[in-house]
Amino acid sequence: MSRRAAPAVSPFGVPQRRAIHDPNESAFSRFMREQVWSPENLPGNLSILTAVSVFFGGIAAIRSWGELMIPA
């Protein structure tokens, strides 16, 4: 007889998380829980956050100290 559901433990020994379905949860909080704070997506999200921070930090640095880069 074949198995119809995924195993409770992944092949790497890490237990799979069960989805929590709260009928009173808003779409925004469900998006934040499933896409932003989930452990599967967290490394990629931190990478995007780092890239955006470096980008805007560079813009702020150039706007603040850009005239120091022009030879006198």
| Bridge partner list, 9 | 15
- Tell me if 8 is assigned to some domain: no
Percent of the chain exceeding pLDDT 70 equals: 72
DSSP calls for 15-67: BPPPPP--TT--HHHHHIIIIIS-TTTHHHHHHHHHHHHHHHHHHHHHHHHGG
Which pLDDT does position 23 carry in this prediction? 85
Q: What is the number of domains present in the chain?
A: 1
pTM as predicted: 0.61
- Tell me if 4 is assigned to some domain: no
Which pLDDT does position 32 carry in this prediction? 92
- Tell me if 10 is assigned to some domain: no
Gap between the Cα atoms of 10 and 66, Å rounded? 52
- Tell me if 31 is assigned to some domain: yes
Which pLDDT does position 6 carry in this prediction? 57
- Tell me if 51 is assigned to some domain: yes
- Tell me if 11 is assigned to some domain: no
Range of the domain at 65: 27-69
